[in-house]
């Protein structure tokens, strides 16, 4: 089984491929989407769920999504057509190699830090696409308690929350909003 098939199966029953409820997704998007017209980019967009929600919330927003997986992009395209959304451009390529002729007011990358080699390289990639005064919404994990060697092997060598926030700030970012998935969100995601 290849990584695209694994991703499709792992996220088949969860609307945003992350352990977040609808209210949390809405709050995160509202904290990042510019008022009025603007551009949004999702690096590692999967099926485009975040972008489709952003486009539905803001009718003058234009969005682009980048992902390696053709099956996921086909789902995103089909959903956009079904919703009558014509403001979405999709790119099938490695998100780390993506370039655009214009900057973006919002750059998203939820659950795709592995494509860049971790959180700080993901933020560096986002910075390269960000318009002056733009915002970034990054979704990544952290350890709540000391992980087992098996957990590290499966999920990577993540930091704890305090270290993660300190790393982001030391990299020149000013975190303005954060969301930690509630137990129910995690349980819902695991069961999905």
Who has greater pLDDT, 46 or 15?
46
- Look up the pTM and report it: 0.83
pLDDT over 90 (residue 77): yes
Domains located in the chain, CATH noted? 3-191 (3.40.50.150)
pLDDT of residue 175: 85
User: What are 147's two structure tokens?
Assistant: 């992980």
Query: Distance between CA 3 and CA 92 in Å, rounded?
Result: 15
Q: Residues, the chain, total?
A: 192
Who has greater pLDDT, 10 or 36?
36
Is residue 50 within 8 Å of 110, Cβ to Cβ?
yes
Arithmetic mean of pLDDT, 30-45: 88
Q: pLDDT digits over 98-130, tens only?
A: 999 999 999 999 888 888 999 999 999 999 999
Is residue 103 within 8 Å of 130, Cβ to Cβ?
yes
Most confident of 87-91, 114-118, 148-152, 161-165: 87-91
Of the candidate ranges 52-56, 122-126, 144-148, 176-180, the one whose mean pLDDT is the lowest: 176-180
pLDDT over 50 (residue 6): no
> Helices 70-83 and 49-57 meet at what angle, rounded to 10?
20
pLDDT of residue 142: 76
């Amino acid at each position: 089984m290849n990584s695209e098939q694994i991703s499709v199966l792992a996220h088949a029953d969860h609307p945003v491929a992350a352990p977040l409820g609808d209210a949390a997704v809405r709050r995160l998007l509202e904290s990042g989407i510019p008022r009025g017209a603007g551009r949004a980019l999702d690096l590692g967009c999967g099926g485009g769920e975040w972008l489709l929600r952003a486009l539905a919330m803001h009718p003058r927003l234009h969005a682009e999504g980048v992902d390696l997986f053709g099956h996921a992009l086909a789902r995103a395209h089909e959903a956009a057509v079904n919703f009558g959304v014509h403001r979405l451009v999709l790119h099938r390529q490695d998100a780390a190699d993506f370039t655009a002729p214009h900057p973006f007011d919002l750059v998203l990358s939820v659950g795709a830090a592995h494509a860049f080699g971790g959180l700080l390289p993901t933020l560096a990639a986002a910075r390269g696409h960000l318009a002056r005064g733009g915002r970034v919404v990054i979704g990544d994990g952290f350890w709540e308690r000391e992980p087992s060697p098996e957990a590290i092997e499966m999920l990577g060598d993540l930091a704890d929350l305090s270290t993660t926030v300190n790393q982001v700030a030391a990299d020149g970012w000013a975190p303005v909003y954060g969301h930690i998935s509630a137990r129910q969100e995690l349980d819902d995601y695991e069961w999905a």
